[in-house]
Amino acid sequence: MYVKKLLENIRNYYSEIYKVLIFIATMVIIVLLFPESTKFKYEYREGRPWLYEDMESPVDFAIKKSDLEIAKEKEDIKGNSKLYFTFDEEKTKKILNSISSSFDTLWLQTYGLGNRESFSENKQLCVNISTNVYQTGIIKLPSGIPENHDDVIVYVLRNNIAKEAFLNYFYSPKTAFLYVLQELKNSNDIEREFITNFLHNHLATNVFLDKKKTEMELEYSLDNISPNRGMILRGQHIISKGEIVSPGVYKILESLRIDFQNRSRSSNLGLYIGKIILVSFPLVAFGLFLLFFRPEIFEDSKNLIMIFILLISMVAITRLVVVYDNSLALLIPIMIIPIVIRAFYDTSLALIVHITTIILISFVVPNSFVFIFLQLMTGLVVIISVVKLHKRSQFFFSALYVFLSYSLIYLGLELITETNIMNLEFSVFVYFAISAGLTLLATPIIYLFEKLFGMVTDVSLLEYADTNNPLIRKLSTIAPGTFNHSIQVSNLAEEAAVAIGANRLLVRAGAMYHDIGKMDNPMFFTENQSGGYSPHDELSYKESAEIILAHVLQGVKIAKSYNLPNQIIDFIRTHHGTKRVEYFYRMHLKEMPDEEFKLKEFTYHGPIPYSKETCVLMMADAVEAASRSIKMPDAKSISELVDSIIKSQLDQGQYNNANISLREINTVKKIFKKKLLNIYHLRIEYPD
């Protein structure tokens, strides 16, 4: 029983529940997009005064090095990294053994077996020199080592023991050969040329760069760079009120902010509760605004979904940009929001949505006050620039206004704290220009939303109502009388719509297309006939009524084939509501009073109008058509005609589904009477 009652309540309040779920889903998504840490309550900028009370450290925390400092430290370590070399004992032994054996062979080949004493003396000298050279080591220098390397210290691994040594302690192949020459110069009674050539041919490196060990030590040094450069103790004074935030103090404040956010991550429950409260308030306030001041928008969930998609997308983009680099926050094209909302709705709603958006985004970006002021003032300028959005070219002017507003407001904010204009960050103006350029993305976004949500903008309505539109031009060619009738109806309906606060552009566009179904059989409609001939004379009243009734359904078919939006097609469907084809109905009843027939054979299929705009069109269509039959139009006859037609529609319940009041209906009647009187006023008679 309880479940049945619950299901019944859900069915009865489905629309309300659906809207609540939309709001909850939006809130959850935005909460998840918010930072995972508590927002630091102080806002500050380097080179600007500290606007708060004297500040002492609330906790012990480390002063963080900046990314630039850490990068510089890494470069210094790479430039001064330790070089590790390996003394190859095995190769040294092989080289010395090779020298000893090769000397014997070459000596015998050169001098034979004679004079063994000279042989022993020269060999001993050769072995001593080569032993001295190779025990010191002949090093192979890596690329990048400067020629003058007297002060370069390296580490040499010998028997798994690393020892420091100056790089110039070792021989290079060149200096080793010079040493050989010097030693031979100081020796007498030797075969100097023989030994010189022999040792020159047997000099080889035996000290090599140990790349693996060098890279391991470099990696270790880089990994052990300290991210901190000092400590601030609890209670230690940081800055006084009004003091300029110096670079050093700025780094301390940034370190405190990071430490605060890291600590706040541990209290997730309180953080999420706070985010839910802060996100809920602007969303609920926005919902209440729609409920009380824009109920027609609130009633249609499609409107809420479109607005919240825009809002969530902007918060998500801002979050991604700030996480990547918070200095790029000025690139975000936030002005797309008010432009898109204005294109579909009105300026007051555009302003409310814009305010809601920047309030939510302010929790994500740095320097919230400056951000809110900058975006709010620029948003007002942009909304004013699109108050009358009648051309897509206005978007380019709006982009220009965005850049100028950003630049001037930023300049003003900077000058109140920085008197020297040369200290301004001129790269910020480049960001403003890029953001203004990205605002032009509003055009494809509007087009996309028109297709996704089946909505139309004022710009689109103007394009549809243009008499150069292909379908309208086709109507003027095939059914010129209907075309002129549509223009007269659009003029009447638009004037009335303005008077009662309806959408005048929607009414005008709907009026231009309401009778396009007459293109199939134009001569069966009075306004297209000439010469007194009517094809209805050859048909029965039922057949004539069938043709007249068909123009509504045929009009819907044509409109769909030309991809007209549903908002305009609705005018075609509803402009006759469920009225009768009065003339043929009465004539049939008069000539065949005893015949039984179905009333629906002479009745339009509807539906009846559902809005002020469709009601106004129904009135204007009937009044304009009937006014053509007045033989002597004057104020009285026109007034009686308008009153009788609209009273008849009221009595038939044609306005029952629309939110139009009797006061608005009376206003519409006054406008029609005035307009028709101007159309049919008597002119002075010109002389022959």
**Whole-number pLDDT of residue 135:** 87
**Whole-number pLDDT of residue 453:** 86
Identify the CATH class of 458-679.
mainly alpha
Which uninterrupted H or E stretch holds 510?
A: helix 504-513
Q: How far is CA 171 from CA 135, 168, 179, 513, in A?
A: 10, 7, 9, 98
**Whole-number pLDDT of residue 136:** 86
Q: What would the pLDDT profile of 517-530 be if each residue is shown by its tens digit?
A: 999 988 888 888 87
Residue 222, CB-side half-sphere exposure with 13 Å CA sphere: 15
Strands 84-87, 207-209: pairing kind: antiparallel
What sign for the dihedral angle of Cα 89, 94, 96, 97?
positive
The helix-helix angle for 347-361 and 301-324 (nearest 10°) equals 40
Q: Are 62 and 255 in contact (CB under 8 A)?
A: yes
CB burial of residue 294 (10 Å; 0-12, 13-18, 19+): middle
Domain regions of the chain by residue span: 2-36+268-453, 79-221, 458-679
**Token couple for 235:** 């209670």
**Whole-number pLDDT of residue 364:** 85
Cis peptide upstream of residue 444 (ω within 30 degrees of 0) = no
Q: Are 509 and 465 in contact (CB under 8 A)?
A: yes
**Whole-number pLDDT of residue 422:** 66
3-class secondary structure, 155: strand
**Whole-number pLDDT of residue 460:** 87
Q: Are 131 and 174 in contact (CB under 8 A)?
A: no
3-class secondary structure, 108: helix
**Whole-number pLDDT of residue 127:** 86
**Whole-number pLDDT of residue 266:** 52
Q: Which residues of the chain have a pLDDT value below 50?
A: 683-684
